[in-house]
Structure 1
Amino acid sequence: MVPIPLSPELYARISSSLTGPTRRADLASLCLTSKALQHSAEPKLYETLAFGDAQTAYIACRTLIQNPRLALFVRTFWFSQDNSRSRHAVPLWPAVHAALRRMHNLESLGLFDTTMGNGWVLDPEAGNGEDDGIKFQLREAKLRFTWSASLARFLAGQRKLQILFTCDRYSDTEGDAGSGLDLPALEMFDGMLSVAAHLGASPMRHLQMAVDVEEVREFLGMLRGCLWKWRKTLRGVSIQDLPEQWVLGALAAVAETCPDLLHVGLFPLPLMNRHKLHRSLISMRYLRSIHVDITHWAPHHPAPPAQRALAAELRVFCPSIRHVVFWIHGTRFRWMFSGGAAQEWRSAMETGRYPPMDSSWCSV
């Protein structure tokens, strides 16, 4: 009996049903079943590539280098180096460099280098004359590299970039390393304040910055500059590593420049004399969420009843608040206010958290 061929749409539905990290082996099996299934399964198999082991990532990159057709299927490429899983030294970064130049349709890129020294793989000028250069336009980039002219040159060409994560402070030791970097589509930034200060105007909605300057005057100048250029679109702002003595000035700058924010954090809550903080909150009429750090209240951290009183205190001066989070080291205490007839606070405690990894600032 001659088998009845299935329609391309049905093959596509079969492949689509096997998406997810736990079904990759099934997609690989489909590729070996028949030419028709291979045609529909290969794009799904190579669409998202994520690795934690250097040797596995190296093998995948070599496959893409040797088969440019497969590289065109890649939309997401992530590598987060896990030294405990790397058994043998391999020339990974040269392979990543060559493979990226074949991923013309790449949209999301995450490269987390424990040494932070391999940002050259993204440099448009770093080539051997045999590759085609970088052709992709990213939507999302999360990069753990030292800030350098190489990284700035790469980002300058990403005109469609909407989400950017970097982890190093701005440096001009290699000349112009990103002064006035123009990313016209950028909506979310997570990185150092000094880098944010060098970004151009864009429809920024969510902003998380780590303080990396030592003088309060320089800090407030950079902060006000960032808030001002994005004041019309910002919805959530998070400031990490903020010294306690700078809190009142920082919150005043936020309230004066962006009074329509929906979320602010992460401010060390003053133990005493909070009236200036209250004054800033009064002008933030739309604020729904605030995160404060009370780790420095040691050794007498507030118990839940005291936390509830503090949450209610903040809401007295900003009645729009519905969500208050208290951080004590890696523990997050969430207090949620329910309006209506109940008018009560509900709480939840979550341990093993890391404040910079919290996503509240980008979910409003």
Structure 2
Amino acid sequence: MSAGPKIALCPDLCKLIAPWVPDETLPALCLSSKAFLRPAQARLFYSLYFSDLSEIAGLCREINASERLGDYPRNLFIVLETLGSIRLNSAARIAAWQDVALGLKHMPNLKTLLISDAVLVNTWIFEDLGTPPFQLKNLKLRFQWDQRFVDFLSSQKSVVALETSCPDPYIDLSGSSPDGTPTHIILPTIPVDADSDGFLPHLARLETQLFIAQQLLTPFPGRKHYPPLTYIRINPAPENDRAVLSMLPNLCWVHKSLRAINVQLPEDVVWKAINMIATAVPTIRYIGVLHIPSVHHHRLTSALLRLPHLWAVEIDVSSWEPQPPNLFAQRAFAATMRTYAPSLRNVIFWVGEQKWLWKVMPTEVDADGNGVVGDGMGKWGCQLDNGVKLWAEA
């Protein structure tokens, strides 16, 4: 009995079908027909997540052998959080990272890259990468902050969001220097090019360590451009109060774009820090997290008067007595703050791990036809927010 005639599938029709196939059946779809191979592979390779060095190295070898596969990845996540995720001897580990660097050379359409390196010493892959074929939008790197790292960043002119986790060179065996700066460590040099738009010319969101934020915002001879930052978050909470205060005046270089800053401001410096932020960026719309002491609240009023555009603020009241602060105390404090900052619409209170969100709810008098709150006082509404999302875009 002879086989029936083969049916040729329309490639355009296959492209329309593939996006609707469940993710778990995509490998089977690749094997079902050559017509489905490319559209199914495009979905399989669009976002790649690996937590094992051997696996990502193997995939990069496949991409190196097939130029077509390298066109598919848009998002690549390499999360090697533990030494167990590497499971290779020294020579094999170096070879695997070389495969990764070579694989990145064949991914021209990559837009999001996350590399979390448990040993923090493999920034040499950026030298092997050479001139990257891609221009990233989102970049998250857990690496050592060295010249290779900075040179790679200088090649990425389209980065909008940058998140780093780097060892802090500001602290040596004897502790920090009195002014919070290292005495014997030379930081990498940020390249200056008078003919370009500067270093990271489109960077809007920055989540990084204090010493990196300080360097990115520090003026130096020949520097004319600063990243157009709208949001800065400092992680983890700085231990050196003087280092925090030394960074805040440099916010003035991005005052035209900056709208939100999140840095843990301890009680000892919170009043001085708020005034420094008000001086550097009077148009700031969000500040957090302020560790407000339970006494001398009047010192906050003078700073609030200097923040006419403040929209949201996060406050840690874990040190208040008695604990926890009841809702009446929270509302009274929020209302007091808004008396001096009429633009304030959101006040977030942290009580340990609990997050209480107070929002000004519009009334008929205060809202226009679109429901937008006007200059009236409105009324306060409260909710317990179990999430930890910050008002980054406030």
Normalised by the length of structure 2, the TM-score is 0.78
- Give, in angstroms, the shift of residue 93 of structure 1: 3.5
* Cα displacement (A) at 1:304: 2.5
Instruction: Please give the secondary structure, in 2, of the residue aligned with 1:177.
Output: coil
Q: CA deviation at 1:106?
A: 1.3
Which whole-Å CA distance do the structure 2 matches of 1:329 and 1:63 have between them? Answer: 49
C-alpha distance in structure 2 between counterparts of 1:14 and 1:117, whole Å:
44
* Letter paired with 1:204: L
Q: Please say if 1:13 is aligned against 2:16.
A: yes
Aligned length: 346
| Other-structure match for 2:304 | 281
Matches within 5 A, 1:78-93: 78-81=77-80, 83=82, 86=85, 88-89=87-88, 91=93, 92-93=96-97
Change (3 A) 1:266 1:44: same
What amino acid is the match of 2:309?
A: Y
Match of 1:143 in 2: 141
| 1:80 and 1:113 in contact (8 A); partners too | yes
Q: Pick which of 154-163 and 202-211 moved more.
A: 202-211
- Larger mean Cα displacement after TM superposition, 137-146 or 99-108: 99-108
Separation of aligned partners in 1, 2:339 and 2:328: 17
Q: Does 1:205 align with 2:206?
A: no
Partner of 2:260: 236
> Deviation of residue 6 (structure 1)?
5.2
Range with greater deviation from structure 2 (112-121 or 278-287): 112-121
Structure 1 counterpart SS, 2:78: strand
Deviation at 1:236, TM superposition (A): 1.4
Distance 1:178 1:331 in 2: 41
Distance in structure 2 (CA, Å) of the matches to 1:12 and 1:299 = 63
Q: What is the rounded CA distance, in whole Å, between the counterparts of 1:2 and 1:264 in structure 2?
A: 69
Q: CA deviation at 1:273?
A: 0.9
The equivalent residue for 1:98 is: 102
Structure 1 or 2: more helix by fraction: 1
SS of corresponding position for 1:265: strand
Alpha-carbon deviation of 1:291? Answer: 0.7
- Structure 1: how far apart are the matches of 2:239 and 2:81? 30
Assess if the C-alpha contact under 8 Å between 1:260 and 1:287 holds in 2: yes
Deviation at 1:318, TM superposition (A): 1.4
* 1:88-129 deviation digits (Å, cap 9, x = unpaired): 5473534433322222221110112233333333x2x2x3xx
Quickly say closer, same or farther: Cα 1:350–1:115, change in 2 above 3 A: farther
The 5 A counterparts of 1:150-189 are 150-168=148-166, 169=168, 175=186, 177-179=188-190, 182-189=199-206
Shift in Å, 1:301: 2.5
Q: Contact (CA 8 Å) 2:154, 2:191: kept in 1 or not? A: no
Residue 230 (structure 1) shift: 0.8
2:177 is aligned to: none
Q: How does 1:1-364 map to 2 (within 5 A)?
A: 5=8, 7-18=10-21, 23-81=22-80, 83=82, 86=85, 88-89=87-88, 91=93, 92-121=96-125, 123=126, 125=127, 127=128, 134-168=132-166, 169=168, 175=186, 177-179=188-190, 182-199=199-216, 201-210=226-235, 212=238, 214=240, 216=242, 218-225=243-250, 227-240=251-264, 242-297=265-320, 300-341=323-364, 343-351=378-386, 358-361=389-392, 363-364=393-394
Q: Deviations over 1:36-86 (max 9, x none)?
A: 211222222111112234454343333323334312211110122354984
Q: Quote the RMSD (CA, aligned, Å).
A: 2.9
Greater C-alpha radius of gyration = 2
Q: CA deviation at 1:252?
A: 0.8
TM-score (structure 1 length as normaliser): 0.84
Could you give the per-residue CA deviations for residues 232-259 of structure 1, whole angstroms, max 9, x where no partner exists? 011211113x222111111111122222
Structure 1, residues 254-293: CA drift from partner, whole Å, max 9, x if none?
A: 1222222221111111211122222211222222211111
1:255–1:280 CA contact under 8 A, matched in 2: yes
Unaligned runs of 5+ in 2: 171-181, 193-198, 217-224, 366-377
Q: 8 Å contact 1:187–1:204 — kept in the other structure?
A: yes
**Cα distance in structure 2, aligned partners of 1:180 and 1:206:** 23
Q: Could you tell which deviates more after superposition, 27-36 or 164-173?
A: 164-173
Partner of 1:106: helix, strand, or coil?
Answer: coil
SS at match of 1:190: strand
Which deviates more from structure 2 when the two are superposed, residues 145-154 or residues 59-68?
59-68
Partners in 2 of 1:117 and 1:132 — Cα distance?
Answer: 18
Query: Residue type of the partner of 1:258?
Result: V
> Deviation digits for residues 205-227 of structure 1, max 9, x if unmatched?
111124647352x53332111x1
- Aligned-residue offset at 1:201: 0.5
